C-alpha cells in the first residue's frame, strides 16, 4: 500500500530500508568465529545477531539514489577482511599536505578513483537517516539524532538533489577539509 517516502515525500510503495547499507552488515561478519555475526549493543543487552536495523521508509527510486550517489562507491573502497582496504591504499598514494606525530592529511583532489562528493553524500545520508526517523532495532525504537527541522530539511533537499550541501557543515569530510569550516550551531 503506498505511503509517503521519507526522502522524496512522494506516495509510493515503500521498501524495507536499511539504516546502514546491507553490505556493511555482511562486512561486519567474522566468518572464522564460532558466531560470525556482529555484536550489537542496545540499552538492554549486547548480543551477536544477523538482524539488521531497517524499516519501511524509502521508495525504490530513493533507495537507488542512495546507492548511485554514494553507497556503491564508498562500499567498493571500505576495509575488507584480511587487510584489503582500497581507500587507504588510494589515499596513501596522494600527496601529503599536513602531518602530525600520529596522523597525515592527503590531498585526493587529483585522484580519479577517490570521489569526495560521494563520501560526502554517503555520510550525509546516514546523518539524515538518524535524524529523520526512529528506526526499529531489535524490538525497540532508536532515539533520533536531535537536529532542527530546518537543518533536517536542508539535508533532505541536498540528498534528493534539490540543493547543494547545507551551508553550515556539521560533518568533517574529505570534501570539507580543503574548504573553510564553520562551527556547528543548531538553530533549534
User: Residue 57: pLDDT above 50?
Assistant: yes
Contact 70/125 with Cβ under 8 angstroms?
Answer: yes
Question: pLDDT grade, residue 170 (50/70/90)?
Answer: low
Contact 91/146 with Cβ under 8 angstroms?
Answer: no
Contact 144/151 with Cβ under 8 angstroms?
Answer: no
- Could you report the per-residue pLDDT of 8-55, keeping only the tens digit for each? 999 999 999 999 998 888 888 887 888 888 887 777 778 888 888 889
What pTM was computed for the model?
0.81
Question: pLDDT grade, residue 171 (50/70/90)?
Answer: low
The CA distance from 68 to 159, in Å, is 12
Amino acid at each position: 500500500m503506498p505511503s509517503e517516502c521519507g526522502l522524496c515525500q512522494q506516495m509510493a510503495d515503500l521498501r524495507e530500508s536499511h539504516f546502514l547499507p546491507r553490505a556493511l552488515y555482511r562486512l561486519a561478519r567474522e566468518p572464522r568465529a564460532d558466531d560470525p555475526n556482529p555484536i550489537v549493543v542496545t540499552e538492554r543487552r549486547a548480543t551477536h545477531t544477523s538482524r539488521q536495523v531497517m524499516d519501511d521508509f524509502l521508495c525504490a527510486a530513493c533507495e537507488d539514489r542512495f546507492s548511485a550517489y554514494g553507497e556503491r562507491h564508498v562500499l567498493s573502497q571500505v576495509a575488507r577482511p584480511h587487510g584489503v582496504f582500497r581507500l587507504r591504499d588510494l589515499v596513501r598514494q596522494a600527496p601529503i599536505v599536513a602531518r602530525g606525530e600520529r596522523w597525515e592529511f592527503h590531498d585526493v583532489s587529483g585522484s580519479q578513483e577517490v570521489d569526495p562528493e560521494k563520501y560526502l553524500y554517503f555520510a550525509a545520508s546516514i546523518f539524515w537517516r538518524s535524524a529523520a526517523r526512529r528506526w526499529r532495532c531489535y524490538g525497540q525504537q532508536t532515539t533520533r539524532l536531535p537536529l532542527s527541522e530546518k537543518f533536517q530539511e536542508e539535508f533532505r533537499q541536498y540528498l534528493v538533489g534539490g540543493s547543494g550541501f547545507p551551508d553550515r557543515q556539521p560533518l568533517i569530510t574529505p570534501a570539507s577539509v580543503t574548504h573553510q569550516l564553520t562551527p556547528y550551531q543548531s538553530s533549534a
